[in-house]
């Protein structure tokens, strides 16, 4: 959170730099759509240029090649997720509510990028069980930070007697495994029920099984 505050306090960039960044965002948005529609291998720089309404030369001025575009799309997802995690989960002091908020965030984030995630999983079959494997290696450290942050929430809940006395890391990995399995399934299958119903069911089923049961 301190790092985010430092970023926010940095001087505003120039008009030219802001315009350049806006162009990058528009191109990355177009790249996500083309990758999701065509798949990584079939997608071309020319198609992404047409989708974004920029010249091919502009794309090459901002990105080295298609591989970097793909990499930056994934990086954008991670940055967006990290910002929402800070705001919607890590600031929640009640550990049960924080885990419920995390499940909500994970599922909604997946739903927003469902088609692109499906393509990413297809590029790496092993990532169906562990989507982290679909991340470029230099971005996998972000996942490690995520694991540490969620483990801290579970530890707080265990220490407060809210969750069963289980190793907090096991709870983190267990939740991650369940969500990843559902995401892999949902990326390939039509599912019944609304998004809200699926989120509620996951929250109820997981949290209900790790909460300390009070006895008379």
Please check whether residue 44 lies inside any domain of the structure: yes
Could you tell me if 131 and 105 lie in one domain?
yes
CATH code for the domain in which residue 37 is found: 1.10.10.60
Could you tell me if 107 and 202 lie in one domain?
yes
Please check whether residue 155 lies inside any domain of the structure: yes
Could you tell me if 135 and 207 lie in one domain?
yes
Using the structure block, give the residue that is written with the tokens 């990326």.
187
Could you tell me if 78 and 57 lie in one domain?
no
CA nearest neighbour of 152 among 87, 98, 71, 208: 98
Confidence of residue 54 (pLDDT cuts 50, 70, 90): very high
Please check whether residue 2 lies inside any domain of the structure: no
- 11 against 187, higher pLDDT: 187
Could you tell me if 211 and 170 lie in one domain?
yes
Which of 63, 82, 106 finishes a domain?
63
pTM of the model: 0.80
Q: What is the pLDDT of residue 1?
A: 42
Asked whether the predicted pLDDT for residue 7 surpasses 50, the reply is no
Please check whether residue 104 lies inside any domain of the structure: yes
Confidence of residue 102 (pLDDT cuts 50, 70, 90): very high
Could you tell me if 33 and 56 lie in one domain?
yes
Residues 6+ apart with CB under 8 A from 99: 153, 154, 157, 175, 203, 206, 207
Could you tell me if 86 and 23 lie in one domain?
no
Q: What is the pLDDT of residues 175-195, one digit of tens each?
A: 998 988 888 788 777 777 888
Report the alpha-carbon distance of residue 14 to residue 3 in Å, rounded. 22
Query: What would the mean pLDDT of 130-136 be, rounded to a whole number?
Result: 57
Could you tell me if 102 and 185 lie in one domain?
yes
Domain interval for residue 109: 73-216
Asked whether the predicted pLDDT for residue 115 surpasses 90, the reply is no
What is the 8-class DSSP label of residue 84? H
> 3-class DSSP state for residue 38?
helix
Q: What is the pLDDT of residue 119?
A: 78
Please check whether residue 68 lies inside any domain of the structure: no
CATH code for the domain in which residue 130 is found: 1.10.357.10
Which of 63, 86, 104 finishes a domain?
63
User: Long-range contacts of range 2-8, CB-CB < 8 Å, 24 or more positions apart?
Assistant: 4/83, 4/86
Could you tell me if 133 and 56 lie in one domain?
no
Q: How far from 118 is each of 16, 39, 81, 179, CA to CA, in Å?
A: 36, 9, 17, 15
Could you tell me if 45 and 129 lie in one domain?
no
Asked whether the predicted pLDDT for residue 69 surpasses 80, the reply is yes
How many separate domains does the chain show?
A: 2
Confidence of residue 3 (pLDDT cuts 50, 70, 90): very low
Could you tell me if 132 and 173 lie in one domain?
yes
């Amino acid at each position: 959170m301190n790092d985010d505050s430092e970023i926010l306090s940095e001087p505003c960039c120039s008009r030219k730099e802001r315009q350049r960044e806006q162009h990058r965002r528009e191109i990355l948005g177009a790249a996500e759509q083309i990758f999701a529609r065509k798949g990584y291998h079939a997608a071309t720089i020319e198609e992404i240029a047409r989708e974004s309404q920029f010249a091919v030369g502009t794309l090459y001025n901002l990105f080295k090649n298609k591989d970097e575009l793909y990499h930056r799309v994934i990086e954008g997802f991670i940055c967006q997720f990290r910002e929402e995690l800070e705001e919607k989960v890590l600031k929640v002091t009640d550990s049960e509510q924080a885990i419920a908020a995390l499940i909500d965030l994970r599922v909604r984030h997946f739903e927003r990028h469902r088609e692109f995630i499906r393509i990413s999983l297809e590029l790496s079959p092993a990532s169906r069980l562990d989507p982290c494997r679909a991340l470029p290696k230099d971005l996998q450290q972000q996942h490690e930070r995520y694991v540490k942050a969620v483990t801290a929430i579970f530890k707080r809940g265990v220490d407060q007697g809210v969750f069963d006395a289980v190793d907090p890391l096991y709870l983190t990995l267990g939740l991650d495994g369940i969500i990843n399995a559902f995401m892999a399934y949902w990326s390939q299958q039509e599912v019944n029920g609304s998004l809200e119903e699926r989120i509620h069911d996951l929250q109820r089923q997981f949290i209900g099984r790790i909460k300390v049961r009070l006895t008379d």
